[in-house]
Chain A
Amino acid sequence: MPHHVKSKALSHLRICDFTGQLAGAGATKFMAAFGAEVIRIEDPSNQGRWDILRGMPPYVDERRGNELGGPFNNHNVGKLGITLNIKTEKGRELFERLVAISDCVTENFSSGVMRSWGYDYDVLKEIREDIIYVSNCGFGHSGPYEKFKTWGPIVQATSGLTMSSAIPDQPPAGWGYSYMDHTGAYFMAMAIMLAIHHRNRTGEGQYVDVAATEAALTLNGPVLLDYTVNGRPLRRDGFPDANHSLSPAMAPHNIYAAKPIPGSFDEAWIAIACRNDEDWHAMRDVLVADGCDWAANDDYGQLSGRMGAQDELDKRIGEWCMRRDPFQSAELLREAGVPANAVQTPEQRIDQDVNSAEARLWPTIRQAEMGRVRVDGIPAHFTKTDWSMTRGAATLGEDNDYVYGELLGLSQDEIAGLYEEGVL
């Protein structure tokens, strides 16, 4: 069985896992990093391609194939991988034996898929009384849109997150990736662990319905209360205005074009936020020392004056920002106590920011076919049971011998027979 020293935080837990892509796979990836034994089940009849990320780019080299997808590897680090055709009778029997020795069953299929195989919470509970069954799907398992399909951008659109990411007089910019696949996975991990704690206290298992759209809806709270209490919708003239800040009120507060860095991209940007008058006074001093006499204008001395003059301030600060590259300006401002930072490119934040190394954020793992490759780590460290990541995503059926042999006690001959019958 699996190699290497693992965290003991969750090593007493076993998860029978159908999750895939990111919205589900991210949840069990987190738990696997803390030692949970996550047994990821893939369908041999389609080579595990229910998970569309299997085999998808980026790739480490010129090779292409089902075991070489960068995102699939990233999201499935540390999990065991088995094949199982649940549409066969023997497959169902093996699945039920796995459920019997697992704490949780997890999946993020479209609504109704598990039921179409004959499994829902009541059936799983008959197999194991205290089983925890967590299902994560875009719109959840009830309501008018139960049958509607989603992926990250659709979750973000329907929940308000796409619309609230925009600047005035422009269409929604939205999120340039599936923020809610990551974050839906975070809420799924929370839900799994909440249900386990409940079981630890009471002995009861349960069914949990996670709808990524609802998790997303909770991420715009103050805007929603402004509507339910004050009747002020976010859909109004001049809004959304995501680079400014009304809640709390701050000015200046924006992302400004900066002088590009030679040899890098032909654009560069800096984010600046004055939290209060003290920050502005410090920024004013930096600007005045740099020959920007306009900054000394008393009208800007107090927040109300700056809030009312944001366009003018943004224009002038924008001119100042073009004098230097964003790292130079940000350092000048931060030394004066003003929050400021370059809009970092992936290379800058991953390979040049000192915090990456401090946080040991990008562990190098080994995947059987890809070889050594870096992946997203966990942005937290524990004093006693810290996470580890050493092994990449399992290749198709990589752990069949361990799971069917050691865990379920099947002989090598029996396992060989199951392959022949198309069960594994």
Chain B
Amino acid sequence: MATSSNPLAMMALDDLRVLEIGDERGAWCGKLMADMGADVIKIEPPEGDPSRQYEPFVDDQPHHERSLFFWYYNTSKRSVVMDFNDRSNADAFLKLAGSADIIFDTNTYDPVGRLGVDYHQIMSDNPGLIWCTITNFGFGSVRDDEPHTDLTLAANGGFAWMNGYDDHSLPPVRGGGQQAYHTGSNYAFMSILTALLHRDATGVGQHINVNINASVNVTTEAGSYSWLVSHSTVQRQTGRHAGVAPSMPSQIKCADGRYVNTGIPPRRPAEFGLCYQWLEDEGLLDQLPEAALLLVGAELESFSLADVFRGDNDELLAIFGAGREAFDLLASKLTAYEFFTKAQNFGFQVGVIHSPEEALEDPHFADRGMQVTVEHPELSREVIYPGAPYQLTKGSWGITRRPPLLGEHTDEVLSDLG
């Protein structure tokens, strides 16, 4: 099991100070920077970031220091409380902005307007400053005053249209885990890094305007390009790509009631042969009368998938059908995990459908260090967090501190400013 970062090791962004001003929409962007070593100072209103009140709580006891939602999105950050409704804080804010390399805000608290400070002055006093705004429709949009949440942005931007079931009396599905906000934050971080590399080369900072709705829109694969290229519209299907035309199911329930995604079933001569061998290994040949067709398939000269899709070659269709039947039979005899690992060892691109916690505990991810232990001394606990989204070998990822208590660093940060 990995532990959080080595305090002596250099981290890729540990030369940067970042001010995070805003709500949950930008917190993921802040975490991505903080876990790479940036000194991310989260400026919170006196009552604390709203997400401190979000479920779930440690032991289900609601408290602003026990929100697991807040914990997850705020590792490695420091917390400074500053009341933007009190104009006497303008000087401290300007000093903080003057010390920052990056400011990102979700246009929630409007420090510039409320404190009466001059945005252009801040930018000209600190010419290398990168200021990134993350809003629902882009700063300045005619729609940006509308009320929205992750759900309604997923509906507006195209996620929801894509996800759901073959049975269209069931609703489209948002997808779990606030992915609209994640996607906006992912683009914010990519944009900030782009501006940072430009600053490395020139010393020049700038403003970046990130649009969450637009981020969702360009994260829908065929949903967008089918329309852009050929004015065709994809329709949702259970557990597989939404399609302009219906496709075959690819999600099978296994012997233990859990599911696998069968990806692309056998479709090459060698794969038909491997499929036959797998049935033989499991002692299932006599339960599949069509198994002999797999051997015919294994002896085929190469053929084009177009020959299959055209649907007029009965032998090919029967062979492909036998491959699917073989997968169905194997799934009915094996657990989802067995089906997954055995199929992959035969070279088939199959995936077990893990719940998130099963993924975290899967031996592969555990082996690669995806369980990271973080000390929470106030609760006398060690807490396991998910680990690195990418493995840099130098300047690498790490959780440098547990999420901050409300205003934990106000005094140290403001006194350092003098």
Contacts and interface: CB of A to CB of B under 8 A. Distances in A.
Contacts of A292: none
A226 B56 contact: yes
A190 B161 contact: no
B231 to A, nearest CB: 8
Nearest to A240: B176
A332 interface: no
A143 B364 contact: yes
Contact of B358 (A143, A160, A183): A160
Given A221-B72, A234-B356, A338-B147, A176 B156 contact: no
B389 A34 contact: no
Contacts of B317: none
B294 interface: no
Given A194-B392, A343-B172, A385-B206, A177 B221 contact: yes
B354 A356 contact: no
B208 A271 contact: no
B217 A341 contact: no
Nearest to A333: B147
B389 A382 contact: no
B225 A376 contact: yes
A214 B387 contact: yes
Interface in A99-150: 139-140, 142-145, 147-150
B175 interface: yes
A224 B356 contact: yes
A361 B359 contact: no
Interface residue SS majority, chain B:
mixed
B320 to A, nearest CB: 18
Interface residues of A, number: 158
B103 interface: no
Contacts of A139: 364
B357 interface: yes
B171 A157 contact: no
Interface stretch (B86-94, B188-196, B282-290): B188-196
Contact of A160 (B143, B182, B219, B354): B354
A355 B211 contact: yes
A346 B357 contact: no
Interface residue SS majority, chain A:
mixed
A157 B244 CA distance: 23
B56 A190 contact: no
Contacts of A176: 162-164, 223, 234, 236-237, 240-242
B250 interface: yes
Chain B interface bracket (under 10, 10 to 19, 20 to 34, 35 or more):
35 or more
B354 A159 contact: yes
Contact of B147 (A198, A246, A339, A349): A339
Contacts of A271: 151-152, 154-155, 160, 174
B400 interface: no
B156 A349 contact: yes
Contact of B174 (A165, A191, A221, A226): A165
Interface stretch (B265-273, B322-330, B345-353): B345-353
B357 A224 contact: yes
Contacts of B142: 354, 358
Interface stretch (A5-13, A90-98, A394-402): A5-13
Given A339-B152, A349-B156, A163 B356 contact: yes
A302 to B, nearest CB: 15
Interface in B1-57: 10, 12-13, 15, 32, 36, 51, 53-56
A152 B239 CA distance: 12
Contacts of B175: 161, 164-165, 175, 179, 242
A211 B391 contact: yes
A415 interface: no
A249 interface: yes
A209 B391 contact: yes
Contact of B368 (A166, A214, A265): A214
Contact of A179 (B219, B234, B263): B219
Given A219-B182, A227-B357, A376 B163 contact: no
Interface in A337-382: 337-347, 349-351, 353-356, 358-359, 361-362, 373-382
B239 A173 contact: yes
B171 A358 contact: no
A383 B13 contact: no
A414 to B, nearest CB: 33
The 10 closest A-B pairs by CB, nearest first: A164-B176, A379-B214, A160-B356, A157-B351, A221-B72, A176-B242, A176-B162, A154-B351, A271-B155, A70-B229
16 contacts: A9-B194, A34-B194, A71-B225, A173-B236, A174-B240, A176-B162, A176-B163, A176-B234, A223-B357, A224-B360, A230-B59, A248-B53, A273-B151, A339-B151, A356-B214, A385-B206
Given A158-B352, A209-B390, 10 more contacts: A8-B198, A139-B364, A160-B360, A161-B175, A165-B176, A198-B392, A206-B395, A226-B56, A376-B228, A382-B207
Interface of B: 10, 12-13, 15, 32, 36, 51, 53-56, 58-60, 68-69, 71-73, 137-138, 141-143, 146-149, 151-158, 160-165, 168, 170-177, 179, 182-184, 186-191, 193-198, 200-201, 204, 206-215, 217-234, 236-242, 244, 250-251, 253, 259-261, 263, 340, 344, 347, 349-360, 362-365, 367-368, 370, 381, 383-395
